[in-house]
């Protein structure tokens, strides 16, 4: 235990770069200023739990039906995950040159897996938006639980089942056993418990399915957590965060050899969802508080929160860069992956930075939001579910089947051939986007639209409903 915590101290304290500390300080100051502007006018105390109405100011202005920057967040997160998985197969380090100027994106490739945590935070944020709005306006948000589950499954199942059928039918390398073992493996995927089944000897049909299982498992708990969050947002967030951190600490200290199997189960991820929900609550509370501000003060508040968003974005980039300095050197615990150790330790910090970025994001001035939610990011967000389902499988098949030529005389493996690496990297990404487009436009959207019309009761659109339907199509 002493050795483990010694490495934690060495990895997280001694290697902490100055830029992370500086950016963290700026971010805290800017966000605190934004909060103080509203507190100084008493806005945060006035608009609470639906006891007061924001109708003195246009509700649509205070609570827009859509925040474009959320699509930007989703697009960037999916790109990070895709680049990481493709890099794992191609070994192509994404470094570019403009003249003599080097653009080094290596660290973004290495820690792209952190995009999954960002997607979980985003999922909680968007799912809770209608509840958060109801907390600060007159009336109660009616939450049809059955329709909620119908829509969540309808948004995921068509593409998920299609990918399962295709892989089982045409990919002979998929190992799911024979007889009863095969039946159990397939059932575990259909019931979205494959991440637990793998602990008992099961196998994934597709390696990325684990996060879909985590997402669906969270959906089962969402109505309960949402009701608690509406009544006791601070206590609920604190309690769930403590449980998740205790779970991760237990693994690191007492079962480090099982870190690979345990650290991505729902107990180790649930605080990411709840942090997103808490961020949604704070974002709407701050939006409600601006109703009491005069125009000049509201503009200042918006500029400060926009600056906070930019600084927090830089801080996220610094955390990614920092990964390169995290070195796990204790040979007594070499069974623990340095990557997974880092991911487990940094998860709470990463989640808090992402959720603060989203809180600031609901106040972005237009031109900053348009840069972040550019057409390409929005397009990637739209095809994100199928892009996620297929990108890793495509990259793996290009490598193991030697689809692309490599110099076998000079190099013992295709990954060592720099020309092959470059071609494999870009072809994998382009082909993944192409396949995702085909399935999204020709299968996913037509089928899900028809199923929603058939099985979900028609009703007026609530705030962020359309966005949450698409954004929570993890992962």
Average pLDDT over residues 77-87: 93
The CA distance from 103 to 223, in Å, is 45
Q: Which residues pair with 98 in a beta bridge?
A: 101
**249: Cα within 13 Å, side-chain hemisphere:** 8
Per-residue pLDDT of 302-341, as tens digits, reads: 888 888 888 888 888 877 776 654 444 443 434 455 667 7
Domain boundaries, the chain: 2-471
| Residue-level pLDDT at 70 | 92
The CA distance from 311 to 240, in Å, is 27
| Residue-level pLDDT at 474 | 45
Cis amide linkage into residue 368, ω under 30° from 0: no
Residue 273: C-alpha distances to residues 50, 214, 221, 344, 356 (Å): 24, 10, 11, 15, 14
Tell whether the model's pLDDT for residue 421 goes beyond 50: yes
| Residue-level pLDDT at 77 | 94
Percentage of the residues of the chain whose pLDDT score is greater than 90: 40
CB count within 10 Å of CB 138 equals: 12
Q: Which of 271, 230, 284, 282 is nearest to 123 (CA)?
A: 271
In the 8-state DSSP scheme, what is residue 365?
-
Provide the b/e sequence for 35-57 (b: ≥16 CB within 10 Å): bebbeebebbebbeebebebeeb
Per-residue pLDDT of 155-167, as tens digits, reads: 999 999 999 999 9
pLDDT confidence tier of residue 139, bands split at 50, 70 and 90: low
> Taking a C-beta distance cutoff of 8 angstroms, is the pair 54, 288 a contact?
yes
Residue 349: C-alpha distances to residues 20, 104, 142, 241, 355 (Å): 12, 24, 33, 12, 10
Q: Which residues pair with 222 in a beta bridge?
A: none
In the 8-state DSSP scheme, what is residue 192?
T
The contacts of residue 52 (CB under 8 Å, 6+ apart) are 46, 136
Which residue would you say has higher pLDDT here, 21 or 422?
422
Q: Which of 399, 396, 387 is nearest to 430 (CA)?
A: 387
Tell whether the model's pLDDT for residue 452 goes beyond 60: yes
Per-residue pLDDT of 378-393, as tens digits, reads: 999 999 999 999 999 9
Consecutive H or E run containing 449: helix 445-455
Per-residue pLDDT of 252-275, as tens digits, reads: 888 877 777 788 899 999 999 999
| Residue-level pLDDT at 219 | 96
pLDDT confidence tier of residue 42, bands split at 50, 70 and 90: low
């Amino acid at each position: 235990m002493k050795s483990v915590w010694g490495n934690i101290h060495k990895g997280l304290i001694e290697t902490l770069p100055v830029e992370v500390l500086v950016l963290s300080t700026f971010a805290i100051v800017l966000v605190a200023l934004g909060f103080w502007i509203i507190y100084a006018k008493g806005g945060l105390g006035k608009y609470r739990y639906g006891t007061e109405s924001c109708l003195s100011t246009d509700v649509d202005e205070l609570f827009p039906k859509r925040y474009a920057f959320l699509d930007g967040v989703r697009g960037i997160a999916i790109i990070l995950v895709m680049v990481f998985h493709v890099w794992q197969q191609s070994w192509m380090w994404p470094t570019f040159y403009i003249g003599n100027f080097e653009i080094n994106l290596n660290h973004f490739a290495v820690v792209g897996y952190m995009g999954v945590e960002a997607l979980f935070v985003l999922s909680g944020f968007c799912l809770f938006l209608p509840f958060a709005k109801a907390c600060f306006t007159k009336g109660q948000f009616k939450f049809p639980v059955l329709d909620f589950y119908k829509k969540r499954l309808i948004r995921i199942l068509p593409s998920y089942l299609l990918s399962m059928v295709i892989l089982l039918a045409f990919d002979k390398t998929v190992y799911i056993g024979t007889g009863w073992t095969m039946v159990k493996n397939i059932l575990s995927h259909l019931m979205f418990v494959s991440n637990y089944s793998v602990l008992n000897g099961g196998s994934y049909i597709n390696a990325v399915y684990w996060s879909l299982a985590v997402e669906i498992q969270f959906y089962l708990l969402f109505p309960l957590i949402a009701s608690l969050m509406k009544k006791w947002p601070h206590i609920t967030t604190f309690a769930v965060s403590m449980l998740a951190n205790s779970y991760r600490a237990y693994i690191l200290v007492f079962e480090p050899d099982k870190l690979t199997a345990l650290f991505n189960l729902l107990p180790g991820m649930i605080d990411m969802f709840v942090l997103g929900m808490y961020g949604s609550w704070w974002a709407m509370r701050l939006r409600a508080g601006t109703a009491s501000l005069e125009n000049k003060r509201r503009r200042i508040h918006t500029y400060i929160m926009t600056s906070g968003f930019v600084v927090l974005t830089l801080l996220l980039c610094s955390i990614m860069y920092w990964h390169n300095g995290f070195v796990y050197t204790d040979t007594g615990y070499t069974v623990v992956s340095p990557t997974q150790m880092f991911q487990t330790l940094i998860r709470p910090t990463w989640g808090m930075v992402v959720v603060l970025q989203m809180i600031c994001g609901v106040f972005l001035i237009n031109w900053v939001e348009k840069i972040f939610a550019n057409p390409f990011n929005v397009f990637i967000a739209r095809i994100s579910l199928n892009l996620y389902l297929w990108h890793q499988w495509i990259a793996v098949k290009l490598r193991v089947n030697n689809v692309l030529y490599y110099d076998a005389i000079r190099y013992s493996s295709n990954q060592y051939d720099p020309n092959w690496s470059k071609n494999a990297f870009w072809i994998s990404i382009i082909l993944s986007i192409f396949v995702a487009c085909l399935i999204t436009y020709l299968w996913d959207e037509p089928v899900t639209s028809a199923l929603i019309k058939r099985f979900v009761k028609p009703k007026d659109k609530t705030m962020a409903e359309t966005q949450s339907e698409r954004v929570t199509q993890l992962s």
